[in-house]
Structure 1
Amino acid sequence: MNDDSSIVRLAAMLRDEADRLRPGDKLPSSRELMRLHGVSPVTVSRALGRLAAEGLVVVRPGSGTYVAPAVARAEAAADLSWQTVTLGDRVVDDTDVVGLLTPPPEGVIPLTGGYLNPMTRPSRALSAAASRALRRPDAWDLPPLSGLPELRRWFAQEIGGDVTPADALVVSGGQAALTHALRALAAPGTPLLVETPTYPGALAAARAAGLRATAVPVDRDGVRPDLLAEAFAVTGARVFLCQPTLHNPTGATLSLERREQVLAIARAAGAFVVEDDYARYFATAPVPPPLAALDAHGTVVHINSLTKVLSPSMRVAGVIARGPAARRLRAGQIVESFFVARPLQETALEFVGSPAWRRHLSTLSTDLTARRNALVTALTSMAPAAEIHLVPRGGLHLWVRLPPDLDEDVVVETARRAGVLVSPGRIYYPAEPPGPRIRVTHSAAVHPAELTEGVRRLATALGGARSHDFS
């Protein structure tokens, strides 16, 4: 099925209905729209989102969707087509990232997403840390532009080796860190080496920066050093972006030997390695030290974010860099966003300096292990045709290969209709994917029991995908 066409059709029908109604009249509920038109919750949500963006309806959470006042609709009718010519053909595509960030509709089980569910987050401890932080007399003062000294010291100590607080820069979360790093290290139009598959947000940031993402294959042990060396030689790239610990989406972790090989290859190429260490706190078994701790030559730009391990709104990350690269990163942050809000930095510092931080990590390790095992067990017993790439040493996801005769998009849409969300594998590839795959997440479901029910729905979708035609 072409999901976009379903959204367009439903939006057109709702647009006609809104035109027939009076301002303030209520449209049918999402559940009623699903029943009447035979569409998924996601299709309803996106169709209503389009009408809201056009100013035709007003969505009131917990109440419903209403026809917008006439004034708002008149303002929305302005002809903005002139912008198409003025903007040109440079497109920033957020589709894949938005899909990962959009909350699931009621009754739908999320086996996708990149954050901890509300029950797993340390929300109370974060609120207590925020209260303490805001009581500080300088909480609303201008912070040091590179970040609070104590927070920079903490990020440096987390890496170890000879990293110092002077090497650390505090930025607004991991995605901002990726964007800053790519813009600072690579010029528009130049190649960027990335693992394949890889995190869709990284691919979107690279394209937005005008970089040409070139794929370097991974196996069960992470990126292949032989193919990395070949890619540097063929492309002339000067930046390699990687996730050496619990790689997203495969879950692979680079051995110490491979980490040393990656550093040696990058140094020989005169290239930087951007180490996205997003999962360092999700490891449930010992992993090798970060690349940055092994680096003595300024090769590595290291990113450590608190967002995924704490809360989506804890947009605080540390970037470790040295030399001219560090100066360029700092200058880029100042030009683009000045600094990270001091209250947020103070809250992060309060939390990681409290006993609640270690308690959270201990509890999280136990929870993630149980969730991973439950998801593996459910997939193995109820969906044996879906082959798990590997059982990782922690993390949030499982990478699953589908039978080659299945259409990945059909599987994902059938699963949506069955009430479970999974991530399509194609969004993780910078080029053509090698076959149908999906990423299945165990951290987003609120209760572990939902994982079993989610896999049951997915198994039903896998069986139905062979007989459904959504074209």
Structure 2
Amino acid sequence: MDDDSSHRQVAEQVRGEILALAPGSRIASHRELVRRFHVSASTVADALSLLAQQGLIESRPGAGSFRTENRPTPRPGDTSWQETALELSPQDDSAPGIRRVFDAPGLLTTLTPSAADVIDLNGGYLHPDLQPLSMLTASLSRAARRAGAWDRPPPGGLPELRDWFAAELGGGLGRQDILICGAGQSALSTSLRALCQPGDPVLLESPCYPGATAAARAAGLRPIAIPLDISGIRPDRLDEALSHTNARAIVVQPLFQNPTGASLTPQRRDELREIARRHGAFLIEDDFARYMAHDDGKPLVPPLISDDPDGTVVHIRSMTKVTSPNLRVGAIAARGPVMARLRAASVIDTMLVPAPLQYTTLEVVTSPSWRRGLATLGKTLKHRRATARDAIAAAFPTELTHYPRGGYHLWVSLPPQSDSRQFAAEALTRGVAITPGDNYFTSGGGSPHIRISYVAAPSPADISEGIRRLEPLVSKYICEGAG
């Protein structure tokens, strides 16, 4: 047998023998299995480890491996009481209408893995073939060898990593203006809870990243939708909403917005900062897609916080999208007294970000492969975007209203009167996972759209095939609308 692929074969053959034994019986020794299957000791060790993970055997030091004992059947319970306990309990001193809502269907839809026979045009993370796994593995190995890898890090994060983020953001930011956090979603939740009180309004783009809506509702805030166009959130509507609501926080994605792909123009960036400053509101800049600019999407405008001496902007930057969903490290940047509030909220939420993850991130961003990898990814995403665009043009009757040169998705119009959730459900029966546009509206409405991601599928050919499978469904919806 080939050692590199045989441990599963060994485990499968031994599995049958184990099931024939009485619970508590000793199985063949490690040495005997090596001799019987003509494989290496490490292959047998891997096979036994797999069987232990499956709950079939347990190891007893000095005695060998044994079939696990039968575990007692758990007594049936009745958890129906929780339905009443989880209902909102009114408090005499609580403001009417304030409640924290822990419901995130939009996030869960995107995070749920697709079945093996489904083409994933839904996911928001790079397919493993696109992830810089060699660099991540090498960085993790170097990080683990650092002298302080398992020491408790400072509450604000490793000084060296904070210095890197400060230099990356520019605008004269220093270490004191940076807080290391657990990636973008965690940073968004921390920022909203630090800046707002339960019951406060928070202004969100419409359509909007579902994680922002979920974080706002979990903090007991009232999301208020502000429309956007291809240049980003509309300043006139933002100014009007701030005047009427006295909101103290606005959340924007300035580059390649999720889901529309819109990017703020230089003029609009200045307008947003001025409007927020005039109303005394914080502008939370969720810069999630900066490292996902395509080969033809550069140079990029600097982040809003780089020209914000008055501390209007609270900036969020994450490393997760361009590395791995498991490298959950990011940063919050802010000037002024607000940083003390953000640090306190972060400590309450997560205590600290594990030092091994921080050191791994530091190794990644200081590696010579970091910038080269971003350049390669930019070329790859440009090609995948073009593949998706061509397939959409063949399958859908309307042209794309926006063709962003960054990010990982396209915002596609459906025939009028379509139900995007029903469309997504029917697409799944055809072996394609897509994201319904309704997930991106705080009220669940909006014109019918779907979001098509082109980074989660294994290859450009899969992207084309997945969109091709939608063509009969699009035709069906057109006919139903005409009827």
On whether the aligned pair clears a TM of 0.5, the verdict is: yes
Q: Which residue of 1 aligns with 2:5?
A: none
CA contact (8 A) 1:414 1:464 kept: no
Change (3 A) 1:72 1:419: farther
Work out the CA distance in 1 between the residues paired with 2:357 and 2:249. Answer: 31
Q: What is the one-letter code of the residue matched to 1:204?
A: A
1:213 to partner: Cα distance: 0.4
Work out the CA distance in 2 between the residues paired with 1:118 and 1:303. Answer: 25
Instruction: Give RMSD over aligned pairs.
Output: 2.1
Residue from 219, 225, 237 that aligns with 2:247:
237
Determine whether 1:83 maps to 2:82. yes
1:86 to partner: Cα distance: 2.3
Change (3 A) 1:386 1:444: farther
Change (3 A) 1:60 1:202: farther
Residue from 80, 88, 100 that aligns with 2:110:
100
CA contact (8 A) 1:379 1:386 kept: no
Q: Which residue of 1 aligns with 2:372?
A: 359
1:162 to partner: Cα distance: 1.5
Give 1:305-454 correspondences, 5 Å limit: 305-381=318-394, 383-454=395-466
- Write the deviation string for residues 37-59 of structure 1: whole angstroms up to 9, x where unpaired: xxxxxxxxxxxxxxxxxxxxxx9
CA contact (8 A) 1:374 1:448 kept: yes
Q: What is the one-letter code of the residue matched to 2:146?
A: R
Work out the CA distance in 2 between the residues paired with 1:342 and 1:304. Answer: 18
Matched residue SS, 2:176: helix
Q: What is the one-letter code of the residue matched to 2:74?
A: A
Work out the CA distance in 2 between the residues paired with 1:72 and 1:222. Answer: 59
- Write the deviation string for residues 2-61 of structure 1: whole angstroms up to 9, x where unpaired: xxxxxxxxxxxxxxxxxxxxxx9xxxxxxxxxxxxxxxxxxxxxxxxxxxxxxxxxx979
Work out the CA distance in 2 between the residues paired with 1:300 and 1:218. Answer: 19
Determine whether 1:133 maps to 2:156. no
Work out the CA distance in 2 between the residues paired with 1:312 and 1:72. Answer: 37
Work out the CA distance in 2 between the residues paired with 1:81 and 1:432. Answer: 29
Work out the CA distance in 2 between the residues paired with 1:384 and 1:166. Answer: 50
- Write the deviation string for residues 74-128 of structure 1: whole angstroms up to 9, x where unpaired: 34x2112222222323541122211100111011001111111100000111000
Change (3 A) 1:365 1:267: same
Q: Which residue of 1 aligns with 2:188?
A: 178
Q: What is the one-letter code of the residue matched to 2:412?
A: V
1:466 to partner: Cα distance: 6.1
Q: What is the one-letter code of the residue matched to 1:154?
A: W
Determine whether 1:247 maps to 2:246. no
Identity of aligned residues (%): 47
- Write the deviation string for residues 105-157 of structure 1: whole angstroms up to 9, x where unpaired: 01100111111110000011100000011011111001111011110011111
Change (3 A) 1:73 1:378: farther
Work out the CA distance in 2 between the residues paired with 1:309 and 1:431. Answer: 31
1:433 to partner: Cα distance: 2.2
Q: What is the one-letter code of the residue matched to 1:267?
A: R
Work out the CA distance in 2 between the residues paired with 1:330 and 1:91. Answer: 24
Q: Which residue of 2 aligns with 1:462?
A: 474
Work out the CA distance in 2 between the residues paired with 1:165 and 1:91. Answer: 35
- Write the deviation string for residues 150-169 of structure 1: whole angstroms up to 9, x where unpaired: 10011111111111111000
Matched residue SS, 1:307: coil
Work out the CA distance in 1 between the residues paired with 2:463 and 2:349. Answer: 41
Work out the CA distance in 1 between the residues paired with 2:140 and 2:198. Answer: 39
- Write the deviation string for residues 340-390 of structure 1: whole angstroms up to 9, x where unpaired: 000000000011001111111011000000000110011012x23254230
Work out the CA distance in 1 between the residues paired with 2:72 and 2:409. Answer: 43
Q: Which residue of 1 aligns with 2:162?
A: 152
Matched residue SS, 1:214: strand
Matched residue SS, 2:185: helix
1:459 to partner: Cα distance: 1.3
* Residue ranges of structure 2 left out of the alignment (5+ in a row): 1-18, 20-52, 56-68, 89-99
Work out the CA distance in 2 between the residues paired with 1:182 and 1:436. Answer: 29
Work out the CA distance in 1 between the residues paired with 2:154 and 2:72. Answer: 43
Work out the CA distance in 1 between the residues paired with 2:364 and 2:206. Answer: 35
Work out the CA distance in 2 between the residues paired with 1:145 and 1:409. Answer: 42
Q: Which residue of 1 aligns with 2:32?
A: none
Change (3 A) 1:100 1:432: closer
Count of residues in Structure 1 that have an aligned counterpart in Structure 2: 403
Q: Which residue of 2 aligns with 1:271?
A: 281
Higher alpha-carbon Rg: 2
Q: Which residue of 2 aligns with 1:13?
A: none
Q: Which residue of 2 aligns with 1:56?
A: none
Q: What is the one-letter code of the residue matched to 2:243?
A: A
1:259 to partner: Cα distance: 0.4
Determine whether 1:293 maps to 2:306. yes
- Write the deviation string for residues 175-194 of structure 1: whole angstroms up to 9, x where unpaired: 00000000000111110000
Q: Which residue of 2 aligns with 1:224?
A: 234
Work out the CA distance in 2 between the residues paired with 1:228 and 1:70. Answer: 63
Residue from 259, 265, 278 that aligns with 2:269:
259
CA contact (8 A) 2:104 2:210 kept: no
